Amino acid sequence: MTRILIALLIASQTCAALAMATPPQPAPRPAAQPAPAPSTASTPARPVDQLLQAILSGKTSNAEERRIGEQIAGNFLGAVKLVPDPALQRYVNLVGTWVALQSERPGLAWRFGVVDSDDINAFAAPGGYVFITRGLYRRLNDEAELAGVLAHEIGHVIRKHQLRLMQKSQYIALAAGALAKQFKDEEQLIRNLVGNGAEIMARRLDQEAEFEADRVGMVLAARAGYDAYALPRVLEDIGHLSDQDSRVALLYKTHPSPDERFGRLAEATGDRLDHLAEGAGLGQRFYRLP
């Protein structure tokens, strides 16, 4: 740059001496180069950190929720298999999907299944995974009762009850700075959060979450055209079983008693559904296990 300035100055003075018409002009200064702006780019957050923050903030996207649910459902089905009856599985998916379409989250890729267990129970995982046991399915009398049971589990998904459970269980560990440094990828984080799949299915949700899912279940079943009181009938039937019956041991561990749930539903609904047209039971097309 110095050489260029000197050359321009000499050339300017030489031209002035030859022409003798104007005084020498100062050499033009080259345009100043703007200083580079300080970099504002920061290291992008790792996917594992983004997922962790999404869970703890309660703002998981559908895609993030789906990845969590896939891990839970996959692990769960590694421990308990689906009933090997394609017609049954197709039927339950048709009923469940129709009920889920009545919810505020119809766009989730809903999946339903009947698992090969004599326990009387049903489960849900984030992202739209819902399972009912063969033992509970056998106690159902018609399609409306199936719709009511599935609607209860759909209620857990649309209200993100399982994600709230994960959020609470991980808060203290995150505050201590442990989780942010411990995991290398999303899969490792999800495995830690959900355990072995069957484990999270056995975790007890907040009782108010169960009562809320019951209320949501009645509403969704009614919207779908089913008898809104089918779910209370199922609860009443299960309530007749002894709490010492091994088939309901996990149900009693993870849920309030059926009698309590029935009572809370009766209190919440009162006469609010009396104006509804009678919903369908559809016992004639209910898929019955051999």
Question: Would you kindly state where each structural domain of the chain is located, as residue ranges?
Answer: 47-270
pLDDT at residue 54, rounded to an integer: 81
pLDDT at residue 207, rounded to an integer: 87
Question: What single-letter amino acid sits at 210?
Answer: E
DSSP symbols for 89-150? HHHHHHHHHHHHTTSS-TTS--EEEEES-SS--EEEETTTEEEEEHHHHHH--SHHHHHHHH
Alpha-carbon distances of 124 from 129, 157, 201, rounded to whole Å: 6, 7, 8
Question: How many CB atoms are closer than 10 A to CB 62?
Answer: 14
Kindly give the confidence (pLDDT) of every residue in the chain, 290 residues in length, as a single tens digit, with 9 standing for 90 and above: 434 333 333 334 433 333 333 334 444 555 555 555 554 455 556 677 787 778 877 888 999 999 889 988 998 898 899 999 999 999 999 999 999 999 999 999 999 999 999 999 999 999 999 999 999 999 999 999 999 999 999 999 999 998 888 877 765 566 555 665 677 777 777 777 666 555 656 666 788 999 999 999 999 999 999 999 999 999 999 999 998 999 999 888 888 899 999 999 989 988 877 777 789 999 999 999 98
pLDDT at residue 275, rounded to an integer: 76
pTM, 2 dp: 0.78
pLDDT at residue 86, rounded to an integer: 98
pLDDT at residue 71, rounded to an integer: 87
pLDDT at residue 199, rounded to an integer: 60
Residue 226 DSSP class: B
3-state secondary structure of 82: strand
Q: Based on the number of CB atoms within 10 Å of its own CB, is 148 exposed (0-12), middle (13-18) or buried (19 or more)?
A: buried
Length of the chain: 290
3-state secondary structure of 194: helix
Q: Based on the number of CB atoms within 10 Å of its own CB, is 32 exposed (0-12), middle (13-18) or buried (19 or more)?
A: exposed
> What is the C-alpha separation between 76 and 196, in angstroms, rounded?
7
> What is the C-alpha separation between 113 and 131, in angstroms, rounded?
5
